Amino acid sequence: MSDILINKEAKNPDGEGKNILLVEDSQVVQNITKHVLEFYNHKVHTVLNGSEALDEIQSNDYDIILMDIAMPNMNGIECIGRLRKMEDPKKANLPVIAITGNAEFLSPIEFKKAGFSDFLEKPIDFDNMSRILKKFINAGSAK
Protein backbone atom coordinates (compact mmCIF):
# COMPACT_ATOMS: atom_id res chain seq x y z
CA MET A 1 0.00 0.00 0.00
CA SER A 2 1.23 3.47 -0.83
CA ASP A 3 2.68 5.72 1.84
CA ILE A 4 1.68 8.99 0.19
CA LEU A 5 -1.58 9.51 2.09
CA ILE A 6 0.30 10.83 5.08
CA ASN A 7 3.50 12.82 5.13
CA LYS A 8 4.82 15.99 6.75
CA GLU A 9 3.04 18.20 4.22
CA ALA A 10 -0.25 16.30 4.58
CA LYS A 11 -0.47 16.64 8.34
CA ASN A 12 -2.27 19.42 10.11
CA PRO A 13 -0.13 21.70 12.32
CA ASP A 14 -1.32 19.76 15.39
CA GLY A 15 0.20 16.59 13.91
CA GLU A 16 -3.05 14.83 13.09
CA GLY A 17 -4.35 13.73 9.71
CA LYS A 18 -7.14 15.34 7.74
CA ASN A 19 -10.86 15.19 8.51
CA ILE A 20 -12.53 13.16 5.79
CA LEU A 21 -16.23 12.58 5.21
CA LEU A 22 -16.95 9.28 3.48
CA VAL A 23 -20.39 9.15 1.87
CA GLU A 24 -21.07 5.55 0.85
CA ASP A 25 -24.12 3.29 1.14
CA SER A 26 -22.17 0.01 0.92
CA GLN A 27 -21.06 -1.03 4.41
CA VAL A 28 -18.29 -3.18 2.91
CA VAL A 29 -16.78 -0.34 0.85
CA GLN A 30 -17.33 2.04 3.75
CA ASN A 31 -15.52 -0.16 6.29
CA ILE A 32 -12.53 -1.00 4.09
CA THR A 33 -12.02 2.57 2.93
CA LYS A 34 -12.40 3.93 6.45
CA HIS A 35 -9.79 1.50 7.82
CA VAL A 36 -7.31 2.36 5.06
CA LEU A 37 -7.71 6.09 5.71
CA GLU A 38 -7.47 5.65 9.48
CA PHE A 39 -4.27 3.64 9.02
CA TYR A 40 -2.78 6.86 7.60
CA ASN A 41 -3.98 8.83 10.65
CA HIS A 42 -6.90 10.55 8.97
CA LYS A 43 -10.11 11.07 10.92
CA VAL A 44 -13.00 9.55 9.00
CA HIS A 45 -16.72 10.05 9.55
CA THR A 46 -19.14 7.97 7.49
CA VAL A 47 -22.70 8.53 6.32
CA LEU A 48 -24.94 6.46 4.06
CA ASN A 49 -26.39 8.97 1.57
CA GLY A 50 -26.39 12.50 0.25
CA SER A 51 -29.00 13.92 2.63
CA GLU A 52 -27.02 12.65 5.63
CA ALA A 53 -23.88 14.12 4.05
CA LEU A 54 -25.41 17.60 3.75
CA ASP A 55 -26.53 17.51 7.40
CA GLU A 56 -23.04 16.41 8.44
CA ILE A 57 -21.32 19.10 6.34
CA GLN A 58 -23.58 21.81 7.80
CA SER A 59 -22.68 20.73 11.35
CA ASN A 60 -18.97 19.90 11.02
CA ASP A 61 -15.81 20.91 9.19
CA TYR A 62 -14.12 18.54 6.76
CA ASP A 63 -11.00 18.81 4.62
CA ILE A 64 -12.06 16.35 1.90
CA ILE A 65 -15.18 14.40 0.97
CA LEU A 66 -15.27 11.01 -0.75
CA MET A 67 -18.77 10.50 -2.18
CA ASP A 68 -20.47 7.59 -3.88
CA ILE A 69 -22.61 8.50 -6.88
CA ALA A 70 -25.38 5.88 -6.63
CA MET A 71 -27.03 6.04 -3.21
CA PRO A 72 -30.60 5.87 -1.89
CA ASN A 73 -32.53 8.97 -0.72
CA MET A 74 -30.15 11.44 -2.41
CA ASN A 75 -27.49 10.44 -4.92
CA GLY A 76 -24.06 12.00 -5.26
CA ILE A 77 -24.96 14.18 -8.25
CA GLU A 78 -27.84 15.86 -6.41
CA CYS A 79 -25.77 16.16 -3.23
CA ILE A 80 -22.80 17.82 -4.94
CA GLY A 81 -25.19 20.29 -6.62
CA ARG A 82 -26.59 21.32 -3.24
CA LEU A 83 -23.15 21.39 -1.62
CA ARG A 84 -21.76 23.75 -4.28
CA LYS A 85 -24.67 26.17 -3.57
CA MET A 86 -24.03 26.41 0.20
CA GLU A 87 -23.64 29.95 1.53
CA ASP A 88 -20.42 29.16 3.41
CA PRO A 89 -17.71 29.41 0.71
CA LYS A 90 -15.37 27.08 2.63
CA LYS A 91 -18.00 24.33 2.63
CA ALA A 92 -19.19 25.05 -0.92
CA ASN A 93 -15.65 24.70 -2.25
CA LEU A 94 -14.56 21.56 -0.41
CA PRO A 95 -12.70 19.02 -2.55
CA VAL A 96 -15.15 16.21 -3.33
CA ILE A 97 -13.97 13.00 -4.95
CA ALA A 98 -16.70 10.94 -6.59
CA ILE A 99 -16.68 7.17 -6.07
CA THR A 100 -18.47 5.18 -8.74
CA GLY A 101 -18.88 1.69 -10.08
CA ASN A 102 -20.26 3.17 -13.30
CA ALA A 103 -17.48 5.45 -14.53
CA GLU A 104 -18.20 4.39 -18.10
CA PHE A 105 -21.44 6.40 -17.97
CA LEU A 106 -19.78 9.70 -17.06
CA SER A 107 -16.62 11.17 -18.55
CA PRO A 108 -14.06 13.05 -16.44
CA ILE A 109 -15.45 16.27 -17.96
CA GLU A 110 -18.97 15.36 -16.81
CA PHE A 111 -17.72 14.70 -13.27
CA LYS A 112 -16.10 18.16 -13.27
CA LYS A 113 -19.25 19.80 -14.68
CA ALA A 114 -21.30 18.15 -11.93
CA GLY A 115 -18.98 19.79 -9.38
CA PHE A 116 -16.65 16.96 -8.39
CA SER A 117 -12.95 17.66 -7.93
CA ASP A 118 -11.96 14.19 -9.17
CA PHE A 119 -13.26 10.62 -9.24
CA LEU A 120 -12.37 7.06 -8.26
CA GLU A 121 -13.69 3.91 -9.86
CA LYS A 122 -14.91 0.88 -7.91
CA PRO A 123 -13.42 -1.41 -6.96
CA ILE A 124 -11.28 1.25 -5.32
CA ASP A 125 -7.58 1.15 -6.12
CA PHE A 126 -6.23 2.47 -2.81
CA ASP A 127 -2.90 3.54 -4.33
CA ASN A 128 -4.83 5.65 -6.83
CA MET A 129 -7.02 6.99 -4.02
CA SER A 130 -3.89 8.03 -2.13
CA ARG A 131 -2.50 9.84 -5.19
CA ILE A 132 -5.76 11.73 -5.67
CA LEU A 133 -6.06 12.65 -2.00
CA LYS A 134 -2.42 13.78 -1.85
CA LYS A 135 -3.13 16.21 -4.68
CA PHE A 136 -5.87 17.91 -2.64
CA ILE A 137 -4.10 17.63 0.73
CA ASN A 138 -1.00 19.32 -0.69
CA ALA A 139 -3.11 21.99 -2.41
CA GLY A 140 -4.84 22.71 0.90
CA SER A 141 -1.59 22.99 2.85
CA ALA A 142 -0.14 25.37 0.24
CA LYS A 143 -2.76 28.01 1.06
- In CATH terms, 19-103+119-141 corresponds, of 3.20.20.80, 2.130.10.10, 3.40.50.300, 3.40.50.2300, to 3.40.50.2300
Q: For the chain, what percentages of helix, strand and coil (3-state, to nearest 5) are there?
A: 45, 15, 40
CA dihedral (52, 84, 120, 126) in degrees, to 10, reads: -70
In angstroms, rounded to a whole number, what is the distance separating the alpha carbons of residues 131 and 125?
10
- What is the DSSP pairing of strand 64-68 with strand 43-47? unpaired
pTM above 0.75, yes or no: yes
Residue 15 — very low, low, confident or very high, per pLDDT cuts 50/70/90? very low
Q: How many residues does the chain have?
A: 143
Structure confidence by residue, pLDDT tens digits, 97-134: 999 887 567 778 888 999 999 999 989 999 999 999 99
DSSP 68-79: ESS-SSS-HHHH
Contacting residues for 49 by C-beta, under 8 A, at least 6 apart:
23, 25, 71, 72, 73, 74, 75, 79
pLDDT at 17: 87
In the sheet with 19-23, reading across from the earlier edge strand, the strands are: 43-47, 19-23, 64-68, 96-100, 118-121
Q: Where are the domains of the chain?
A: 19-103+119-141
Structure confidence by residue, pLDDT tens digits, 39-71: 989 999 999 999 999 999 999 999 999 999 999
Structure confidence by residue, pLDDT tens digits, 63-101: 999 999 999 999 999 999 999 999 999 999 999 999 988
